[in-house]
Amino acid sequence: MMSNHNSMNNNNDPKIELHLHLEGGAPPKLIRQISKEKNIDISGIFSQDGHYIFRDFRQFLSVYEAATSVLTSPNDFYRLTKAVLEQSAQNGVIYTEAFLSPDFCGGSDMAAWRDHLAAIEEAATEARHEWGITMRGIVTCIRHFGPQKAKNAALCAAETANEFIRGFGMGGDETFGTQGNYSYSFDLAREAGLKLTTHAGEWGGAESIRQATEDLKVERLGHGVQVIEDLSLVKKIIEKDITLEVCPGSNVALSIFPNIKSHPIAKLREMGVKVTVSTDDPPFFHTTMCQEYERLTDAFNWEQDDFKELNKAAVSAAFCDDETKVRLLKELDTK
């Protein structure tokens, strides 16, 4: 690919990622391999050249769920976690917060969740030793599965909150119901000591962000970029010190913005909003952390110092303990 003078190779620059769906990081090859081993035919979700294929967000969610359906055992999640973290580490990611969904790990059954989680954590520990990448988990409910299922996910989160499981969040179809429908689950998670984030302002506009901050009282917003529609709300999220988990490549891939140049991340940053950069579901959206950085460099002339500032903001907004934060800040400065 062509690159201008600004887009130096940034593979080795240390990066902090706050918004990554674990299953959304699944290399298509791994999903095909596991489906073959289990004799499950999901060929319909792949294009001829082997990539995930979908037309729009709704179809993306159903392709995502079909791909995820072949992952049925703790060992499958061990393999998934290793594959995802290896990819991330190759892109210079030194810390990642991954969304983990009990709904996809044994249907939110507590015992099954514990088994899946143990396998994920084992893989994460190995990845730290092998590739120097640190992972923490944010348990997520799936919005379009409804508030009842979300309660089960929140119970799983509350029961397993520890050094590894740091937060609770919500993904899925943002146009399904209201954020407030899920307040019971978010209250439960908060009381268990978990930090909170929810997908808001990816599809649901400014109103969805208002609900997320008022009804769920989250400290971060997944995407949140549609806040740009309402300047008084921009002011409010700055006052509340809410950090945005911005995923520019995902937004462009799903046509929320026609191209990276028209993406509001730079404008929001100039207005004083704390923004961070993540991939969301990298193979689905044909992106990597390196590519995100390259596109931002090309579009907005961002340089190493800009990314360093973003990564420091990401550490500050991370859900991990302070000791880990201090180590990450050191790594950002020395690597």
Give the residue numbers marked as catalytic.
Answer: 202
With CB under 5 A as the rule, give the number of residues binding Zn ion. 1
Stretch that binds Zn ion, among 29-37, 79-87, 136-144, 273-281 (CB under 5 A): 273-281
Distances (CA, A) of 243 to 198, 213, 230, 231, 259: 11, 11, 17, 16, 23
Binder among 25, 167, 172, 201 for ligand HPA (CB under 6 A): 172
292 contributes a contact to Zn ion by CB under 5 A? no
21 contributes a contact to ligand HPA by CB under 6 A? yes
Site for ligand HPA in 192-231 (CB under 6 A): 199
250 contributes a contact to ligand HPA by CB under 6 A? yes
Q: Which does 197 bind (CB under 5 to 8 A by kind): Zn ion, ligand HPA, none?
A: none
245 contributes a contact to Zn ion by CB under 5 A? no
Pairwise CA distance, residues 215 & 11, whole Å? 39
| CA neighbor of 246 nearest in space, from 232, 218, 219, 226 | 226
How far apart are CB 281 and Zn ion at their closest, in Å? 7
Pairwise CA distance, residues 248 & 225, whole Å? 9
Binder among 281, 291, 300, 317 for ligand HPA (CB under 6 A): 281
Q: Which residue is nearest to ligand HPA (CB)?
A: 171
Binder among 76, 174, 280, 294 for Zn ion (CB under 5 A): 280
Distances (CA, A) of 171 to 100, 175, 199: 10, 11, 6
Burial level of 118, CB count in 10 A (0-12/13-18/19+)?
A: middle
Given the complex with ligand HPA, which of 139 and 328 has the nearer CB atom?
139
How far apart are CB 197 and ligand HPA at their closest, in Å? 12
Q: Which residue is nearest to Zn ion (CB)?
A: 280
Stretch that binds Zn ion, among 26-34, 78-86, 131-139, 277-285 (CB under 5 A): 277-285
Site for Zn ion in 151-170 (CB under 5 A): none
Q: Can you give the C-alpha Rg of the chain in angstroms?
A: 18
245 contributes a contact to ligand HPA by CB under 6 A? no
Cβ proximity of 232 and 226 under 8 Å: no
Q: Report the sign of the C-alpha dihedral through residues 8, 11, 14, 16, in that order.
A: positive
Q: Which does 24 bind (CB under 5 to 8 A by kind): Zn ion, ligand HPA, none?
A: ligand HPA
Given the complex with ligand HPA, which of 21 and 136 has the nearer CB atom?
21
Q: Tokens at residue 240, please?
A: 């509340």
Cβ proximity of 244 and 276 under 8 Å: yes
Strand order in the sheet with 134-142: 15-21, 93-100, 134-142, 165-171, 195-200, 220-223, 243-246, 274-277
Q: Which residues bind ligand HPA (CB under 6 A)?
A: 21, 24, 64, 171-172, 199, 250, 280-281
Q: Which residues bind Zn ion (CB under 5 A)?
A: 280
